[in-house]
Structure 1
Amino acid sequence: MTTILSHPDVLELVVLQHTATEIVAVVRPRATSSQCPMCGMPSSHIHSRYTRTVLDLPWHGVPMRLRLHVRRFFCDMPTCPRTIFAERLPDVVAPYARRTTRLDTWSTIVGFALGGEAGARLLREFGATSSPATLLRQIQRVPIVGPSPGEAIGVDEFAFRRGQHFGTILVDLTTHRVLDLLPNVEEDTVVTWLRQFPHIKVVSRDRGRNFGGAIQRGAPQAYQVADRWHLLHNLGERVEAIMRDYKVALKTPRSTLLEQHAATLGRTKTQDNKGRAEHERQLHLYAQVQEAKARGLSGHAIAKLLGIHPVTACKYATMATPPDRLLLPSGTFRRLAAYVPYIYQCWNDGCRNGAQIHEELCSQGITVSVRTVSRYMTILRAECGESRKRATVSSPVAYIPHAPPPPSLTPRQGAILFSKPPDRLTSRQKMQLEQVCARDPALVPLHDVVQSFGQMVRTLGGSHLDAWFLRVEASGNAHLQAFAKSLKKDEA
């Protein structure tokens, strides 16, 4: 019968009682003495006895309890602050616990596997009662032992809540596993963590100043490396600034007729006047920002002076030319944008009937109402000074399908074309890159400089960095020179 006990060498079974609902095992310790938990002095001088009732593992689905006859001892050490102590049974039950150690271990495993609610239901089926909250508390009490870092780690910041609360993430670069998440990005926090692992030899980080100082203090023996993603990301930001200076080369030429009516495609006179007023405001703001920049003010100082956002101030300060007016068709007529050349062709051939043009457009697969086409024809009549009474109906005009003019590229899209490896460009992107370089040949050497840096980073060709610095100086581009200057500062 002693086999039902978890530690028969520690406990002695006195009597086994059972009912229809539970089994009760009355047990007592076999040892004749016990150690004081304060001083560790063994004692056999019994003070008194008391009974502890703890829940044990169920037996064939029947709940089981242990009724422990535990003793209290006098501590014979005169200098010990504790005079009386209760004997401990660490292998059987923890101090003050109401469940045996093996039942706690068993329920913790079930909690990890199933969670609170499902785990509690399974334990009830086995005969061990436990609430979902108890299982979750047992899971939370299990200490989390993080993996030990190797010789190379990576450190970067991440957002607990975007734009508000940031923390620090540390990753093992060998196993690609997260080592730890620090609650903030403070330098002292990172230093404290790094000092626990003096064997770290390489730390990869972004190009910010916070982590550089923390690594220098916490792991002075480690070699600091700027990671590839941040290098290429910073280069992409500089290339995007270059594209803003060459935005004329990003624009796709359109026909004269399309340019003439692009601004009024579905826009009323009031909307057009508002657009002109907004463009004038942008030009005035651009002049103010450039004037403040000429006085030597920084982006944040300009923003504070003019009462604008710092991002807006920096954007206008880095623009080499005044902003162009953004001409977009109204939302109702945007579906017609790709078919405007065909509508103009019908108009020039003498067709003024919106219903007839609508039928021909529907045969080409466009899904637009006849009312939309008729409204657009009304706009064309007003711009050309024609009266509706002069509208004539001609025979259907044969339409030869042709590709609509491609949209202009944004500076961000241009930066992607310049930064992306040539073998990863699609056929359309290659064509766009050739067109941009053909519109402004000055971009060709800049493209070569950007591609050479990307190739150097991807192939770990750091020995060519000095030669790349010379190419940047020879290019004369201020944005690339600023990027090279920051790299030299990191290298120092």
Structure 2
Amino acid sequence: MASTTSLSARGRHYGTVLIDMATHRPLHLYDGREGEDLAAWLRTHPEVKVICRDRSSGYSEGARVGAPQAQQVADRYHLWANLGQAVEKTVNGYRSRLAEPPADPANAPDEPQVVQPLAELKIVTRLREQHAAAHELWQQGMSKAAIGRKLGLHQATVRKLVNARSADDVVAKNLQRAHVVDPYVGYLHRRWNEGVRNAAQLCREIQEQGYPGSELAVQRHLRRYRSGRGHAPDPGPKPPSVREVTSWIMTHPEHLRDENTEKLHRLRERHPDLDRLTGHVRRFAVMMTARQGDRIEDWITRAEQDSLVPLASFAHNLRRDFDAVRNGLSLPHSSGAVEGNINRLKMLKRQMFGRAGLDLLRKRVLLAR
């Protein structure tokens, strides 16, 4: 039995090592990972009956052409690693929704913010008071500069107040600026604390809740947080990262800490897609550990029919390598012993400081005892 795997050096230069799985000793080492090279070696070794390999299409074709008599076995480690990549891509689509919902129902993520009536806004009351005071002093004959000093206002602000025919004109103009964001500050704070920093995206979200202003006003409100002149309210517990959630889903339930089990349970309750994703992963894990390769067809069909695109793509790729995958989930063979040889090979490369060519490396690998 032989096992093939690719190994990479700095700069993504690949090589291939073949291991005798009966003795765990290297059989061959060659540059690249092309199927033709593997096929050429296998033709000279017709005694090979089982080939454990990673999921490279080149190795699949090389094994088929060079050793049609051999049984190909997809390594379980690589199958599990590929599934983990699909899970991480799926969870990444929920990155902004991994945080726990606020305790106050009024601030729940899916609930629209209750917009405060215009007359109740503090800025409206303040503008009306300033307009009345400025006009009263103006009628008393005070200059705009004197009015500004008395009221503690900038001269430009006094000019706008005095030139406005009514307080409503001042209110209407100012509400087209940053203050129109005030009713949505709580929502913006929460989304900021969840890691959303794009003003255009946040503007679209609050516009769906009735926000009448422009994106510029949202940018002005967020500027204080970007520059460090202000801070959003305490966000509470930090939301889990994509990798943390992926780890929870990929870990055996009995090996999860109680707190992580509870967090995953709440995530599954909030997001049906993540609930289904976890179910798919756990069924695959049972199938893999119990060597129930005869169930892979049903698992692939269910995954392909689900709306989880990364998982469906993973399942579709399994179908392309169906026989080897089924063998990998049914037979006891694996490429586990290869990893030790790869680590040893990398150690030899470091000892040679990267200056020796492949020929010397091959000799040190194949002739060492």
TM-score (norm 1): 0.39
Equivalent pair of 2:273/2:308 in contact (CA under 8 Å): no
Whole-angstrom distance in 2 between the partners of 1:463 and 1:437: 28
Q: Secondary structure at the match of 1:158?
A: strand
Whole-angstrom distance in 2 between the partners of 1:192 and 1:252: 57
Give the Å deviation of 1:232: 0.9
Amino acid at match of 2:281: V
Q: Which residue of 2 aligns with 1:472?
A: 303
Instruction: Find 1:406's aligned residue among 218, 233, 237.
Output: 237
Q: Which runs of 5+ in 1 are unaligned?
A: 1-151, 265-274, 284-325, 332-375, 385-403
Equivalent pair of 1:170/1:180 in contact (CA under 8 Å): yes
Give the Å deviation of 1:474: 4.8
Whole-angstrom distance in 2 between the partners of 1:184 and 1:488: 26
Whole-angstrom distance in 1 between the partners of 2:73 and 2:278: 26
Q: Which residue of 2 aligns with 1:156?
A: 5
Instruction: Say which structure, 1 or 2, has more relative contact order (CA 8 Å, 6+ apart).
Output: 2
Give the Å deviation of 1:262: 8.7
Whole-angstrom distance in 2 between the partners of 1:471 and 1:238: 15
Q: Secondary structure at the match of 1:156?
A: strand
Q: Which residue of 2 aligns with 1:260?
A: 189
Give the Å deviation of 1:248: 4.2
How has the CA–CA distance of structure 1 residues 258 and 217 changed in structure 2, closer, same or farther, with 3 Å as cutoff?
Answer: same
How has the CA–CA distance of structure 1 residues 179 and 252 changed in structure 2, closer, same or farther, with 3 Å as cutoff?
Answer: farther
| Greater gyration radius | 1
Map 1:77-156 onto structure 2 (within 5 A).
152-156=1-5
Give the Å deviation of 1:243: 1.0
How has the CA–CA distance of structure 1 residues 379 and 472 changed in structure 2, closer, same or farther, with 3 Å as cutoff?
Answer: closer
Q: Which residue of 1 aligns with 2:83?
A: 235
Structure that is richer in strand per residue: 1
Structure that is richer in helix per residue: 2
How has the CA–CA distance of structure 1 residues 179 and 458 changed in structure 2, closer, same or farther, with 3 Å as cutoff?
Answer: farther
Give the Å deviation of 1:481: 2.2
Whole-angstrom distance in 1 between the partners of 2:275 and 2:192: 32
Give the Å deviation of 1:258: 11
Equivalent pair of 2:52/2:72 in contact (CA under 8 Å): yes
Equivalent pair of 1:188/1:214 in contact (CA under 8 Å): yes
Give the Å deviation of 1:200: 0.9
How has the CA–CA distance of structure 1 residues 463 and 439 changed in structure 2, closer, same or farther, with 3 Å as cutoff?
Answer: same
Percent of residue pairs bearing the same amino acid type: 31
Amino acid at match of 2:294: S
1:204 and 2:204 matched: no
Whole-angstrom distance in 2 between the partners of 1:282 and 1:157: 43
Equivalent pair of 1:249/1:440 in contact (CA under 8 Å): no
TM-score (norm 2): 0.51
Q: Which residue of 1 aligns with 2:98?
A: 250
How has the CA–CA distance of structure 1 residues 445 and 167 changed in structure 2, closer, same or farther, with 3 Å as cutoff?
Answer: same
Amino acid at match of 2:83: L
Q: Which runs of 5+ in 2 are unaligned?
A: 108-185, 203-221, 324-369
How has the CA–CA distance of structure 1 residues 172 and 429 changed in structure 2, closer, same or farther, with 3 Å as cutoff?
Answer: farther
Give the Å deviation of 1:172: 2.8
Give the Å deviation of 1:280: 5.8
Whole-angstrom distance in 2 between the partners of 1:179 and 1:432: 48
Q: Which residue of 1 aligns with 2:254?
A: 423
Instruction: Find 2:62's aligned residue among 214, 228, 231.
Output: 214
The count of residues paired between Structure 1 and Structure 2 equals: 220
How has the CA–CA distance of structure 1 residues 472 and 223 changed in structure 2, closer, same or farther, with 3 Å as cutoff?
Answer: same
Question: Residues 292-347 of structure 1, C-alpha deviation per residue, up to 9 Å, x if partnerless?
Answer: xxxxxxxxxxxxxxxxxxxxxxxxxxxxxxxxxx99x899xxxxxxxxxxxxxxxx
Whole-angstrom distance in 2 between the partners of 1:475 and 1:435: 21
Equivalent pair of 2:300/2:318 in contact (CA under 8 Å): no
Whole-angstrom distance in 1 between the partners of 2:282 and 2:200: 38
